[in-house]
Amino acid sequence: MIPRLSKGMNLSKPCKTCGREFKWRKKWEDNWDEVQYCSKQCSSRKPNKVDKQIESKILGLLVERSADTTICPSEAARIVFGEDHFNQYMERTRQAARRLVHQGEIFILQKGKRIDPTQFKGPIRLKKS
């Protein structure tokens, strides 16, 4: 028998698009296991081939470097989108990094310390886990 979910249970999971954690809501009571996206916007922007390309470039750059080395997400964005256009795709690159954290592939660091992938603001570095 499946227990009824209630407001006090405080369940959460990562969005498949943006990688941010979202919490259980009453409207999802009957289908929480099927809910994959935090919003209609994320549901309409499901990860595609370009997003997979960003993820593989992040992992590739980290594998090429020594184990203790970090990279800036902009390095991957510059390679995938080009020097002139990478800036407009930085949020998409950060989303790819969040997804990789939830998959256990990388860590996100800020000022040399591991941080929560759903809460960061400002410059970050990525490190292989």
Mean pLDDT of 47-62: 96
Arithmetic mean of pLDDT over the chain: 89
CB count in 10 Å sphere of residue 28: 15
- Whole-model pTM: value is 0.84
d(CA 112, CA 107): 11
Query: pLDDT class for 4, splitting at 50, 70, 90?
Result: low
d(CA 20, CA 10): 15
pLDDT of 76 higher than 90: yes
Q: Kindly report, residue by residue over 32-48, the tens digit of the pLDDT.
A: 999 999 899 999 999 99
pLDDT of 5 higher than 60: no
